[in-house]
């Protein structure tokens, strides 16, 4: 057994993490055929999934295509809409006109011109609108593709907003009916260990022990295997990112044809922030906050005020959910023959929708690097742990950036966020460097950075961080190139706006007629 082949993988947990992991493993390793990898998913009928997690990254398009899902079916089944990035409101200053975008397209001419120096020369023009055509599309409520654009193809890069509960059901059907995943609906009560400490089997209430070669812990915040069984510590980060609670609501649109926002809208509050996500059938609106700085009553009142101001009096709250979380990540997500993916491996506030993208990255790495035998597993595990420790640290720094650049002074929450003691050392160093040069691949050198340097630039310059750039000998050429890129971005926006349908029009078209398959 110790050096035996890896033929059977058991995934415990049927939330978004469990089903995405099972789907990628089964699709990549031919589980529908008798000679393929056996993939079993155990989900407890007694423990609900977390039920939130509506914002994604463009990686989700690759994931869905890879597992063989039709985009039309997905949009219809999951009430999905298109997301072209995030719009941050009141983050720099507490004014109604304070906002900037973090779009999904790279700045125009990103690799050819010194855009930051060009932007500084332009005085007060907002960075996002100067370098990218996408903010103008979002503000105009345009979709990122046309009726005739095939499934998964984009005119403007996009991800999705989706109903998390419906995604689970959709993936479960696809996995069990098309990909050969065996579903066991049962509660895992205990773990049988081998002499060397590996997991031999999971004890279930009705199906007895279930053996496998590799176990994936997707049991959410319970972390049944990696936490409760193995006791692998977490690296907490509540001293950097204070938010540890959320109140999530589902809100009906006032009219059937109310426009759908094509970006996540994140509005800063005195002690946290509110997300606003437009799905086809409803909005998801939630307030993330720090329990050390405010309480549930104040948050409820702030959320009610927000909904009143953004949806009108006819809006109706369909559902509400209070959630608590402990920000941080598992020091090691892969231990022996057990790997944790999803909330079991960690969670930080959903400010940039980093959770599902980490699930996709982890499941993809697991699938592509699936050890052939137990003998090779520790080598893969060490790489996996190194990769994800790096990713978690970068995600934490990236989220903290949104807070340290704020000039808000209306509460202790914002002042505490700017306290140097709460700033990760590496972020402090980078900010020193970035006073004189823009974020680049030298600061974020890995191939699969969760947030590439362009994302850091959108936040920095969206929040009025004004560096002192070095005078260079190529200045005249650089200036001309930057100006050409700015003209191009404006021209693309001008041409695309009338050529793209309204977001709701495209969603309605997909529901009635569908997109052409790839
Ligand atoms: C407020 C909030 C907002 C969020 N927003 C976003 C967002 O916009 N974008 C994003 O990417 N992410 C977001 N997330 C994170 C996202 O919700 C999760 O990453 C995602 O849902 C994956 O969850 P999961 O599958 O790991 O866990 P869960 O959904 O909790 O699933 C756990 C599963 O384990 C099973 N289970 C537990 N114990 C046992 C047992 N003993 N035996 C058998 N089965 C068991 C349960 O039945 C369940 O099926 C948000 C999270 C929160 C808290």
Ligand 1, atom nearest to 52 Cα:
17
Concatenating the DSSP letter of every residue in 478-518 gives HHHHHHHHHHHHHHHHHHHHHHS-BHHHHHHHHHHT-PPP-
Q: Give ligand 1 pocket residues (Cβ under 6 A).
A: 12-18, 42-44, 47, 49-50, 52-56, 164, 187-188, 218-220, 222, 224, 246, 248, 286, 323, 325, 342-343, 350, 353, 355-356, 359
Place of tokens 């022996």: 336
Measure 52 CA to ligand 1 centroid, in angstroms: 7
Nearest CA, atom 13, ligand 1: 53
pLDDT score for 469: 74
Express the helix, strand and coil content of the chain in percent, nearest 5 each.
Answer: 40, 20, 40
Nearest CA, atom 15, ligand 1: 53
Measure 356 CA to ligand 1 centroid, in angstroms: 9
Measure 14 CA to ligand 1 centroid, in angstroms: 9
Measure 344 CA to ligand 1 centroid, in angstroms: 8
Ligand 1, atom nearest to 43 Cα:
44
Ligand 1, atom nearest to 16 Cα:
25
**Rounded to whole angstroms, what are the CA distances from 411 to 52, 212, 339, 401?**
28, 52, 41, 18
Counting ligand 1 atoms within 8 A of each CB, the residue from 10, 11, 15, 243 with the most, and so the one to mutate, is 15
Counting ligand 1 atoms within 8 A of each CB, the residue from 19, 41, 47 with the most, and so the one to mutate, is 47
Measure 183 CA to ligand 1 centroid, in angstroms: 18
SS3 of residue 72 by DSSP: helix
Concatenating the DSSP letter of every residue in 125-140 gives --HHHHH-SHHHHHHT
Cα–Cα nearest to 249, from 301, 306, 287? 287
Tell me how far apart the alpha carbons of residues 137 and 302 are, in angstroms, rounded to a whole number.
29
Counting ligand 1 atoms within 8 A of each CB, the residue from 11, 16, 175 with the most, and so the one to mutate, is 16
Ligand 1, atom nearest to 19 Cα:
25
Ligand 1, atom nearest to 359 Cα:
19
Measure 386 CA to ligand 1 centroid, in angstroms: 23
Counting ligand 1 atoms within 8 A of each CB, the residue from 42, 50, 222 with the most, and so the one to mutate, is 50
Q: What is the mean pLDDT of each run of 10 residues along the chain (518 residues)?
A: 85 98 98 97 98 96 98 98 98 96 97 94 94 98 98 98 98 98 98 97 98 98 98 98 97 93 98 98 96 97 94 76 98 98 98 98 98 96 98 98 98 98 98 96 93 97 91 71 97 97 98 94
Measure 32 CA to ligand 1 centroid, in angstroms: 26
Look up the pTM and report it: 0.97
Helices (H), 46-109: 59-66, 71-77
Measure 139 CA to ligand 1 centroid, in angstroms: 32
Ligand 1, atom nearest to 288 Cα:
1
Burial class (CB in 10 A: 0-12, 13-18, 19+), 429: exposed
pLDDT score for 147: 98
Ligand 1, atom nearest to 189 Cα:
41
Measure 53 CA to ligand 1 centroid, in angstroms: 8
Cα–Cα nearest to 247, from 328, 325, 349, 320? 320
Measure 346 CA to ligand 1 centroid, in angstroms: 10
Nearest CA, atom 17, ligand 1: 53
Counting Cα atoms < 13 Å in the Cβ hemisphere of 419 gives: 13
Tell me how far apart the alpha carbons of residues 93 and 463 are, in angstroms, rounded to a whole number.
9
Ligand 1, atom nearest to 46 Cα:
47
Ligand 1, atom nearest to 354 Cα:
11
């Amino acid at each position: 057994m110790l050096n035996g082949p890896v033929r059977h993988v058991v995934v415990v947990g049927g939330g978004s993490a469990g089903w995405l992991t099972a789907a990628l493993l089964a699709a990549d390793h031919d589980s529908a055929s008798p000679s393929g990898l056996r993939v079993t998913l155990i989900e407890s009928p007694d423990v609900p999934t977390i039920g939130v997690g509506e914002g994604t990254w463009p990686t989700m398009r690759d994931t869905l295509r890879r597992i063989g899902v039709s985009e039309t079916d997905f949009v219809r089944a999951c009430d999905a809409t298109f997301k072209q990035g995030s719009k941050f409101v009141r983050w720099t200053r507490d004014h109604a006109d304070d906002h900037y975008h973090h779009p999904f397209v790279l700045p125009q001419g990103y690799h050819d011109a010194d855009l930051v120096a060009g932007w500084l020369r332009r005085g007060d023009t907002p960075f996002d609108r100067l370098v990218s055509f996408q903010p103008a599309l979002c503000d105009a409520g345009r979709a990122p593709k046309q009726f005739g654009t095939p499934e998964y193809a984009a005119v403007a890069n996009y991800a999705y907003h989706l109903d998390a509960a419906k995604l689970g059901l959709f993936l479960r059907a696809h996995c069990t009916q098309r990909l050969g995943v065996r579903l066991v609906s049962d509660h895992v009560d205990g773990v049988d260990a081998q002499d060397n400490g590996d997991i031999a089997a999971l004890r279930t209430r009705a199906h007895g022990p279930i053996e496998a070669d590799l176990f994936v812990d997707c049991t959410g915040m319970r972390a049944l295997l990696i936490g409760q069984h193995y006791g692998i510590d977490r690296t907490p980060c509540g001293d950097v990112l204070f938010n540890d609670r959320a109140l999530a609501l589902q809100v009906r649109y006032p009219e059937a044809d109310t426009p759908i926002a094509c970006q996540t809208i994140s509005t800063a509050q005195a002690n946290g922030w509110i997300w606003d996500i437009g799905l086809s059938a409803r909005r998801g609106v939630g307030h993330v906050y720090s329990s050390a700085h405010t309480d549930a009553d104040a948050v409820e009142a702030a959320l009610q005020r927000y909904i009143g101001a953004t949806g009108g009096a006819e809006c109706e709250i369909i559902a509400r959910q209070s959630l608590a979380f402990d920000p941080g990540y598992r020091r090691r997500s892969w231990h022996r023959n057990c790997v944790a993916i999803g909330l079991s491996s960690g969670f930080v506030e959903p400010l940039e929708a980093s959770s599902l993208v980490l699930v996709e990255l982890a499941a993809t790495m697991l699938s592509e690097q699936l050890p052939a035998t137990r003998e090779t597993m520790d080598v893969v595990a060490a790489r996996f742990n190194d990769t994800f420790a790096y990713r978690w640290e970068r995600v934490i720094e990236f989220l903290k950036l949104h807070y340290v650049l704020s000039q808000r002074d209306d509460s202790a929450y914002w002042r505490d966020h700017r306290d140097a003691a709460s700033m990760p050392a590496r972020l402090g160093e980078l900010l020193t460097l970035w006073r004189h040069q823009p974020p680049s691949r030298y600061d974020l050198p890995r191939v699969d950075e969760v947030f590439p340097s362009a994302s850091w630039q959108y936040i920095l310059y969206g929040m009025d961080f004004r560096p002192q750039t070095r005078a260079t000998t190529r200045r005249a050429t650089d200036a001309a190139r930057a100006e050409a890129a700015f003209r191009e971005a404006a021209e693309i926006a001008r041409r695309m706006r009338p050529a793209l349908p309204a977001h709701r029009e495209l969603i309605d078209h997909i529901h009635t007629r569908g997109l052409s398959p790839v």
